[in-house]
Amino acid sequence: MENIIRKDNRPYWLKKYTTKLNNLYVNHFLKPQFKYLGKGGAYFKPRYIKVFGYGVSIGDYPTIIGASDANVQLTAWSIGKHKGKIDIGKYALITPGVRIMAAENIKIGNACMIAHGAYISDADWHGIYDRAEPVGKTKPVIFKDNVWIGDSAIICKGVTIGNNSIIGAGSVVTKDVPDNVIYAGNPAKLVKKLDKDKFNTRREFFSDPQKLALDFDNLDRYTLSKNSLLGWLKSLIFPDKFN
C-alpha cells in the first residue's frame, strides 16, 4: 500500500523550535482576536485560522487545525442591531475548512468535534423576500456536550443537538437532534440510537494534561531521534525520496 502520510523529517530540536515559534504566533497574533481563548491549546498552521468579530470564545485545551486550502473561519457578526456570539467549550476539536457564523448566538458544549468542511450558522444571511436585507432571520444554535459533526455537514439556524449525538457526513440538519443518536441525510433523520454509558470523550483524553504533553514529547524524541538537519533539507528538495 502506498504511504499517503508524509514522514516528519525534522530533527527533534527543530520541531521544538518551530513549536515555540508557532506558540508565539498564537499568543501575539491569534489570541488577541478572541474574546477569550483558554489554556493548553494545540494549533496547527494557525495562520489559516481566521477570526472575524470580537464575540468568539473558546475554552481550555482546544485543538484547531488550519490548512492553506481550507481555512477555519469563526465569524461573530457585530454590526447594527446584531451582536453575534460564538461560545465553544473545553476540549474542542475543529478541523480544516470548518465555518461557524453567528449573528445571534452559537453555543457549543465541551468535548465537541467538528470535522472538515462543516458549516454552522444561526442566520439566513439574507432576507427571504428582501434579498438586500443583511443577515435576515436568526435563531440560536446549541450543541450540548460531546457532539460530533461529520465532514461537510450543515447545521442550520435554530437547531439544538443533544449530548453525545453524531451528525453524519454531508448531512443537512434543520431540526433538533436528541441525545445519544446518529442523524444523517438531507434532511437529517434518525439512523441509530447510542448507548449513553459507553462514551469516552476528549475530556478524559485531557484528564492529565501534563502527562499527556510529556508522553507526546517522549514520542517525538523517539521517532525523530535519527533525523538530521541535512536529511531534513534533502527531504525538502527531494520529497518523494524521503517519505
Whether the per-residue pLDDT at 78 is higher than 50: the answer is yes
Whether the per-residue pLDDT at 176 is higher than 70: the answer is yes
Rounded CA separation 15/221 (Å): 10
Q: Are residues 25 and 41 in the same domain?
A: no
Give me the pLDDT at residue 154, please.
Answer: 98
Residue 202 covered by a domain:
no
Question: 134: pLDDT confidence band, cut at 50, 70 and 90?
Answer: confident
Residue 125 covered by a domain:
yes
Label the pairing between strands 56-58 and 85-88: parallel
Q: Are residues 73 and 1 in the same domain?
A: no
Measured from the Cβ of residue 135, the count of other Cβ atoms closer than 10 Å reads 19
Give me the pLDDT at residue 1, please.
Answer: 36
Q: Which three cell numbers stand for residue 175?
A: 431540526
Q: Are residues 89 and 108 in the same domain?
A: yes
CA–CA distances in Å: residue 193 to residues 15, 68, 171, 180: 43, 37, 17, 6
Q: Which three cell numbers stand for residue 228?
A: 538530521
Q: Is residue 116 flagged as an active site residue? A: no
Q: What is the pLDDT of residues 81-128, one digit of tens each?
A: 889 999 999 999 999 999 999 999 999 999 999 999 999 999 999 988
Q: How many CA atoms lie within 13 A of 135 on its CB side?
A: 18
Q: Are residues 70 and 190 in the same domain?
A: yes
Q: Are residues 150 and 217 in the same domain?
A: no
Q: Are residues 118 and 16 in the same domain?
A: no
Q: Are residues 76 and 8 in the same domain?
A: no
**Starting from the edge strand earliest in sequence, which strands make up the sheet with 188-193, in order?**
42-44, 63-65, 93-94, 113-114, 148-149, 166-167, 181-185, 188-193
Rounded CA separation 55/122 (Å): 14
Q: Are residues 165 and 144 in the same domain?
A: yes
Residue 149 covered by a domain:
yes
pTM of the full predicted structure?
A: 0.91
Selection from 121, 92, 89 nearest residue 104 by Cα: 121
Domain count, the chain: 2
Give me the pLDDT at residue 15, please.
Answer: 93
- Count of helices and strands (H, E) across the chain: 4, 22
Residue 203 gets the label, from left (phi > 0), alpha (psi -120 to 50) or beta, of: alpha
Alpha-carbon 218 to chain mean position: 26
Q: Is the dihedral of CA 76, 77, 79, 84 positive or negative?
A: negative
Residue 179 covered by a domain:
yes
Over residues 37-62, the mean pLDDT reads 96
CATH code (residue 87): 2.160.10.10
Whether the per-residue pLDDT at 55 is higher than 60: the answer is yes
Rounded CA separation 34/90 (Å): 15
The per-residue pLDDT of the chain, averaged, comes to 94
Torsion of CA 125, 144, 27, 205, to 10 degrees: -150
Q: Are residues 171 and 55 in the same domain?
A: yes
Q: Are residues 77 and 161 in the same domain?
A: yes
Residue 27 covered by a domain:
yes
Q: Are residues 26 and 74 in the same domain?
A: no
Select which of 28, 82, 116, 126 is catalytic: 126
Give me the pLDDT at residue 243, please.
Answer: 66
Residue 242 covered by a domain:
yes
Instruction: Provide φ and ψ at 90, rounded to 5°.
Output: -75, 160
19 three-class SS: helix
Over residues 129-145, the mean pLDDT reads 93
Q: Are residues 117 and 235 in the same domain?
A: no
**Burial environment of residue 183 by CB neighbours within 10 A (0 to 12, 13 to 18, 19 or more):** buried
Can you give the residue range of the structural domain that contains 212? 1-33+208-243
Residue 203 covered by a domain:
no
Q: Is the dihedral of CA 25, 27, 30, 32 positive or negative?
A: negative
Residue 56 covered by a domain:
yes
